[in-house]
């Protein structure tokens, strides 16, 4: 049944640090790579080398310009977005076939692709654009939190985390149990004031976003600058002779 579990044993999810993300899109590529070759239908591309190309991705990085009030410089913030594995996931309850479900053991929201009729209603119900209907397979694709990596004992222990987290060169993505208040991700959220996206939609997302840290004000120049010796010196030697000669001409 596509009713939501009243409580999940764990709340596995991601914490994304908007202060650290450099917008390199490595998480986008590693996600596409892993999820094309592993669990479920591959993430197809349409007209990949043509003029009108598009494809299925489970993770996408937006970039926003934020202009603070006053004269402060605008900030450019890179913003990775994937499924937030909501506690009150509207995508699950709308599903007519039971293909969409939320796991009781860890809270991961998954699609059983062999039951999916591709009606698209779950994507309509998701405010975050986390679900995309694969145009080749006709079924709904979404982030699995790399369920085929995190429990996979055939992988070395350091690889048992989502592909996006494992690949991030900036360390902007963190994976863990957000239901356990002593986990490193929960501590990070508490320390940095982790936030929900679109809280007014009532989805109770598990994934949290760490807001950018306040920026320092950059003064125009150092207060000691007027008292310093100028760096430029009179040219000497050949250049000095050339300078004087050219002045005379």
Partner 1 sequence: MHPAPSVIFFTTFSGLGFGLLFFLGLGFPAVTGWTAFAFFAIAYVMAVGGLMASTFHLGRPERAIKAFTQWRSSWLSREAWCAVGALVLMGLYGLGLVFFDTRWTAFGILGAVLSMATVFTTSMIYTQLKTIPRWNMKLTPLKFMSLSLAGGALVAGQVDAALVLLVIAGLVQIYAWVEGDKALTSSGTDMASATGLGGIGKVRAFEPPHTGTNYLLREFVHVIGRKHSQKLRIIALGLMTIVPIILLALPFSHFVGVLAIASHVAGVLTARWLFFAEAEHVVGLYYGKR
Give the binding site for partner 1 (CB under 8 A): 1-3, 18, 25, 28, 52-57, 60-69, 72, 74-77, 79, 81, 90, 93-99, 115-121, 123-129, 132-135, 137-140, 195-202, 209, 211-212
Among residues 98 and 235, whose Cβ is nearest to partner 1?
A: 98
Min dist CB 61 to partner 1, Å, is 5
Min dist CB 199 to partner 1, Å, is 7
**How many Å apart are CA 15 and CA 13, to the nearest integer?**
7
Strands 208-210 and 12-17: parallel
Among residues 81 and 160, whose Cβ is nearest to partner 1?
A: 81
Burial environment of residue 205 by CB neighbours within 10 A (0 to 12, 13 to 18, 19 or more): buried
Contact 45, 54 (CB under 8 A): yes
In degrees and rounded to multiples of 5, residue 79 shows phi and psi of -135, 85
Token code pair at residue 126: 């998701």
Min dist CB 165 to partner 1, Å, is 18
Burial environment of residue 89 by CB neighbours within 10 A (0 to 12, 13 to 18, 19 or more): buried
Min dist CB 248 to partner 1, Å, is 54
Among residues 46 and 184, whose Cβ is nearest to partner 1?
A: 46
- Find the largest Cα–Cα distance for the chain: 94
Min dist CB 87 to partner 1, Å, is 15
Token code pair at residue 220: 């125009």
Among residues 56 and 183, whose Cβ is nearest to partner 1?
A: 56
Among residues 88 and 105, whose Cβ is nearest to partner 1?
A: 88
């Amino acid at each position: 049944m596509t009713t939501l579990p009243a409580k999940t044993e764990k709340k596995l999810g991601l914490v994304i640090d908007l202060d650290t993300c450099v917008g390199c899109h490595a998480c986008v590529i590693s996600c596409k790579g892993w999820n094309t070759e592993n669990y479920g239908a591959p993430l197809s591309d349409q007209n990949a080398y043509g003029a009108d190309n598009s494809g299925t991705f489970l993770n996408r990085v937006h970039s926003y310009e934020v202009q603070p009030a006053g004269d402060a410089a605008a900030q450019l913030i890179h913003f990775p977005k994937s499924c937030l594995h909501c506690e009150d996931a509207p995508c699950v309850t709308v599903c007519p076939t039971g293909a969409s479900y939320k796991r009781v053991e860890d809270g991961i929201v998954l699609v059983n692709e062999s039951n999916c009729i591709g009606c698209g209603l779950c994507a309509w119900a998701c405010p975050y654009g986390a679900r995309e209907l694969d145009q080749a397979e006709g079924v709904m694709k979404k982030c699995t939190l790399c369920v085929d990596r995190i429990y996979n004992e055939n992988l070395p222990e350091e690889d048992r985390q989502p592909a996006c987290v494992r690949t991030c060169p900036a360390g902007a993505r963190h994976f863990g149990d957000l239901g356990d208040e002593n986990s490193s991700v929960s501590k990070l959220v508490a320390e940095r004031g982790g936030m929900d996206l679109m809280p007014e939609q009532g989805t109770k997302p598990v994934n949290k976003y760490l807001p950018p840290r306040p920026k320092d004000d950059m003064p125009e120049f150092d207060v000691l600058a007027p008292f310093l010796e100028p760096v430029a010196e009179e040219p000497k030697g050949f250049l000095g002779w050339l300078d004087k000669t050219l002045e005379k001409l």
